[in-house]
Amino acid sequence: MKIGDTELDLSRPVVMSIINITPDSFFSGSRLSTDGEISAAVDKALADGAAILDVGGYSSRPGASDVTSEEEFSRVSRALRIIRREHPEAVVSIDTFRADVARRCLDTYGACIINDISAGSLDADMHRTVADYKVPYVAMHMRANPATMQEHTDYDDVTHDVKTFFAARIAEMKGAGIDDENIILDPGFGFAKTTRQNYQLMRRMDELLEFGYPILAGISRKSMIYKVLGVGPSESLAGTTALNWELLVNGASLLRVHDTKEAVDVVRLYEYYKNA
């Protein structure tokens, strides 16, 4: 996969590290508010083995405050300026569902992956924007929007319905001109799904490989872990690490995480295990 002049090898799984520029993310330990905190978090993620830095300025947790496009771009820009200055070679992903934010980031900071929690359903211009810039695009499954998504968990078969969703979205993406080699699918763990549905989907996630695209999976410290364990996000690293192994077993090519080193270790062990 190409991001500008950089090639990302997905023949083995890679880790995408969350660089969170929001004041109300569900995991308080990931919130970055000063330039020094951002710089230190980026340095650590890359030193720990992150292949991608995923920069987000809009919290998608249920009940999070809405922010304007201008504020979202301002937050993301703060991190991107630091990354481009201190680590110009780093592969960056922009976590946004807004085409205007994506476009401004691409114009200002160069080629990036666009990571869209709505797969284009929240902004009709997103697919055309991605096609115009010819950048990789993560299309995630979600129903409705972050504020109301947990009111839309009525599936007969969650995995079947996610596959139906992607079949339609892939047709739309290709119709808009997005190249096959730029499409990545994300099952959307925690988005419009109950705890049980998340695990049902995880067990059958390998069925998404039928579409022929890389799978990105993010379960890092989410409620599907801490509700089962009866803890909070800050106590959910061990559960995240265990489930990241299952994501790899079931076909994930990219793991989106808060804790880079632990995820990189899981990938290294999984690769050794496969080839032993």
Q: Tokens at residue 5, please?
A: 């002049």
Cβ neighbors of 187 (< 8 A, separation 6 or more) are: 140, 141, 162, 201, 202, 205, 208, 215, 217
Vertex 24, ends 21 and 28: CA angle to 5°?
Answer: 85
Is residue 203 flagged as an active site residue?
Answer: no
| Spatial distance between the Cα atoms of 206 and 106, rounded to a whole number of angstroms | 32
| Spatial distance between the Cα atoms of 218 and 188, rounded to a whole number of angstroms | 7
Q: Tokens at residue 82, please?
A: 């630091």
| Spatial distance between the Cα atoms of 85 and 100, rounded to a whole number of angstroms | 23
| CB burial of residue 132 (10 Å; 0-12, 13-18, 19+) | middle
Instruction: Say which of 61, 203, 256, 274 is annotated catalytic.
Output: 256
Is residue 103 flagged as an active site residue?
Answer: no
Instruction: Say which of 31, 134, 222, 261 is annotated catalytic.
Output: 222
Query: What secondary structure does DSSP assign to 15-54, as a single string?
Result: EEEEEE--TT-SSGGGB--SHHHHHHHHHHHHHTT-SEEE
Catalytic sites, residue numbers: 222, 256
